[in-house]
Each structure stands twice: as structure tokens, then as C-alpha cells.
Amino acid sequence: MAPQEIPSEPPPSYESSAKPSAVSGAAGGPAKPAGPRPPLPLNLPALVKLRGKRVILASASPRRRQLLAQIGLNKIEVIPSSFAEDFSKSLSPFEYVVQTATQKAISVYEQEIDNEEKGDPALLIAADTVVVSHYGEILEKPRSEVDHLRMLKMLRDTGPHKVYTAVAVMVPLEGGQSPGYALETHVEETSVTFDSNVTDDLILAYVRTREGADKAGGYGIQGLGAILIEGINGSYDCVVGLPLRATLQLIEKILTPDEEGDIDAFAFDG
């Protein structure tokens, strides 16, 4: 494993980080506070390896992109997967999301490998999220306003439900080894409880904002949908659509193999 790069300059002191930085006013006027200094990027070996490299997010979700930016992956190329996401609902929620996330990753990999213009991706990230009702029904995006209302009322009236998010990370392998890539996956589970006192009128008002129209389960915890929720047990990021801690661990695992450098260090976990 290559040694971690050492920054050429030390990070700012805690005292200076706590002070708002100054920005010059118009026409050379007095400086104005511009808020606290943003944090420095994480200086982890796996993330250092990706600097200046092609990193693809196989999802159009702005929420997933924002979460990845928090760990310093803010120059990601977004290429949504065209995979149909039509696995049988007879699968367990765990199997359903991990297979969907894996196929999303594979479909974009097959599209972008050997890209003569941009080159091969250094890392590809895909994810899938489903909401599972108290009685085990897999809920994806609502199909209509009527379906949306039914979905949210059921989540309110039937007790805690589960959110499952699967993450798949992939890197191409050199030398033509089959299947041509290394893949690592993870599934996270979070329990969510709606406030049983939420009224039908509030649910209808929320549905008509259309915030939840493009989200599994029909609500967004990171937005206005928070007014429907009493509490969660598990990862908040899982409900948003990308468990960030687990994603970083997958990236580190797939980009920093055993010191021997054996290809066996890249286990297919699908």
C-alpha cells in the first residue's frame, strides 16, 4: 500500500477555523465576514488515489451526489443507469436492493468501459433504496397522487416501517481477469416511525408539494417530509438514499487491498 500523502502545509488552527473569514467589500471597502471556513477534504489514501480520476455515480439522485461531496467526491460524473429495476417483489428486501444496485453498477460499467474519449472509470458507485411497510410490502416511487396518498396513510397507520439502501462500488481490473471488475456491496437497514397524529389534510398537502413523487415510499426525510416522521432507528443517510459511512468503507476496501496486492483481495460480494 502506498504511504498516505502528507499535506505540504499544516491545517489551520482551531482558533482560525472558528473565526469567519473576511471578504473585501466593493470598490476596496471594508471586509465583510463570509461565514466559517469550510472543512479541509479528508486526506485518506483511498480518496487521495481518486483525485483527478474519473469517478462515476450511476444515479441521477442529487441527494446521493450531495452526500458524496461531503467526503470530498465533489467532481463526480453522473451517468444514471438504464437498468429496468424490475426484479420480482418475491425477493427479500435485502436481495432486491442489493441485486438492483449491482445491476445498476454493471450496466453503467459495460457502457463506459473502454471509453476512448474519457478513459476507464477509476471508481463507479451505484445505489438502490426501497421502503418496506410494516407488513412487508416493498414500496418504490408512487405511481399517481392516489397511490401516493394510500402509501403515506398506510405508513402512518401501520407502525414502524423499514428503509433498505444497497450500495455497490466497482473498479475495473487490469489484465483481463474475469469478470473484468472488482465489486463490493453493502446493505443498510433503518427503521422509521411516522407520527400517528399526522392528519389526512397534512398528508394531502404534502403529496401536492410533489417532493416525494420521485422517492421510494413517497417522502423525503431530508426535506419537508420530516414533518411526517416521529423518529428513526438506524442511519439517517440510509433513509436519504446513501449510507455515507458504509460507502466510504467500501471505497477504502476496494481501493486499498492487502499489502501483498493479490487480486484475491477484491472479493466479489454480490
Instruction: Walk me through the domains of the chain, giving residue ranges and CATH numbers.
Output: 42-265 (3.90.950.10)
**Alpha helices (H) along the chain:** 14-18, 45-50, 62-70, 93-112, 145-157, 200-207, 236-240, 244-255
pLDDT at 179: 73
Asked if 168 and 104 count as a contact pair (C-beta separation under 8 A), the reply is: yes
Taking only the tens place, the pLDDT of each residue in 153-205 is 999 999 999 999 999 999 988 765 667 889 999 999 999 999 999 999 999 99
**Can you read off the three cell numbers belonging to residue 176?**
483481463
Beta bridge partners of 190: 163
Asked if 175 and 190 count as a contact pair (C-beta separation under 8 A), the reply is: no
Catalytically annotated residues? 128
Residue 43, amino acid: N
User: How much is the pTM?
Assistant: 0.81
Taking only the tens place, the pLDDT of each residue in 117-151 is 888 899 999 999 999 999 999 998 899 999 999 99
Asked if 185 and 168 count as a contact pair (C-beta separation under 8 A), the reply is: yes
Please count the other Cβ atoms lying within 10 Å of the Cβ belonging to residue 270.
Answer: 15
